[in-house]
Amino acid sequence: MTVMQHIWIVLGVLFVLLNIAAGLIWVERRLLAMWQDRLGPNRAGPLGIFIVLADTLKLFFKEDWIPPFADKWVFILAPAIVVGSVLMSFVIIPFAPGIVVADLNIGLLFFLAMSSLGVYSIVLGGWASNNKYALLGALRGASQMIAYEVFMGLSVMGVVMLSRSFNLIDIVAAQENVWFVVTQPVGFVIFFIAGIAETHRLPFDIPEAESELIAGFHAEYSGMKFGMFFIGEYMGITLISAMTVTMFFGGWLGPAFLPPVLWFFLKTFFFIGLFILLRASLPRPRYDQLIEYGWKILLPLVLVNLLVTGAIALWLKS
């Protein structure tokens, strides 16, 4: 692959991702409306698609206020971290054969590392805001991330055992015959739950919890700094959906009548829709329930899953 080709892939992935993240504003609002028997934004442009433009323009024209009591530089840095870390995670995702930014042999570990970095934006943003609600949100965010980070990593280890590789291209290739969702159903469910907690989306939006903490860690943010958190959240959804597809649903694999990239995007959009459906249907659990659920139920479950997978893999080998 020449250097020029590589640059084109990087730019293409960046372009598509940022557009998807922005477009999700419209997708989410339309889908939520549909599931609540409403119509949603349908005025600006065909089917209301220009709401994306209007929303972005609105965010740009809002006053970009830094509270005088805030820790200025950390306050500015926090929203950049969330977008940066999510964008970095996309580096290792193979969209189709040949379309991957970095073919790392430790791709999965890199993804876990980058998604853990995302918690810094919440903690730093909440701390720098110097606001009690923001700090409470940051505290919750940190404990939730630590709890769910643990078995997010553990839940994909079954996949790693079966495919014998951390490289995502190898993992997709190992699903040529049967998707890992069939052989690792428990791993998939737990990974998805952990993914929802990781992106702190509803029903696990404990750090934001607008009914309890106003807006939680980003209560003090306005203008495009808030927009960065917003975009970061949507890219997080896309990332978790893309990772779920890559690891459990065969990535770009699919019948040959559609190109591989299209298969990948179709599957990803299915999971994005599932994220939005979760938001539309489930209420937020209490903070202690969430943590308890994580440590007492999901962690033992994922360890048992790992044990059984290992045993079966050894049995099949011998």
| Residue number, 43 or 132, with CB nearest to another protein | 43
Asked if 74 touches another protein (CB under 8 A), the answer is no
Q: Which of 47, 99, 280, 313 binds another protein (CB under 8 A)?
A: 280
Site for another protein in 242-271 (CB under 8 A): none
| Residue number, 148 or 293, with CB nearest to another protein | 293
Number of residues that bind another protein (CB under 8 A): 11
Q: Which of 9, 16, 18, 35 binds another protein (CB under 8 A)?
A: 35
Q: Tell me phi and psi for residue 206, to 5 degrees.
A: -55, -40
DSSP 103-126: --TTHHHHHHHHHHHHHHHHHHHH
Asked if 39 touches another protein (CB under 8 A), the answer is yes
Distances (CA, A) of 71 to 76, 128, 137: 9, 5, 17
Q: Which of 38, 72, 132, 164 binds another protein (CB under 8 A)?
A: 38
Q: Which of 278, 301, 312, 313 binds another protein (CB under 8 A)?
A: 278
Minimum distance, C-beta of residue 280 to another protein, in the bound complex (Å)? 5
Minimum distance, C-beta of residue 183 to another protein, in the bound complex (Å)? 21
Q: Which two tokens stand for residue 99?
A: 């379309």
Q: Which two tokens stand for residue 235?
A: 């890219």
Minimum distance, C-beta of residue 31 to another protein, in the bound complex (Å)? 8
What is the residue type of 211?
Answer: S
> How many whole angstroms separate alpha carbon 242 and alpha carbon 272?
9
> How many whole angstroms separate alpha carbon 224 and alpha carbon 229?
9
| Residue number, 127 or 275, with CB nearest to another protein | 275
Minimum distance, C-beta of residue 38 to another protein, in the bound complex (Å)? 5
Q: Which of 10, 277, 303, 307 binds another protein (CB under 8 A)?
A: 277
Q: Give the position of tokens 């089917």.
A: 47
Asked if 36 touches another protein (CB under 8 A), the answer is yes
Q: Tell me phi and psi for residue 3, to 5 degrees.
A: -65, -40
> How many whole angstroms separate alpha carbon 53 and alpha carbon 48?
10
The answer to whether 35 and 277 are in contact (CB under 8 A) is: yes
Residues near another protein (CB under 8 A) are 34-39, 277-278, 280-282
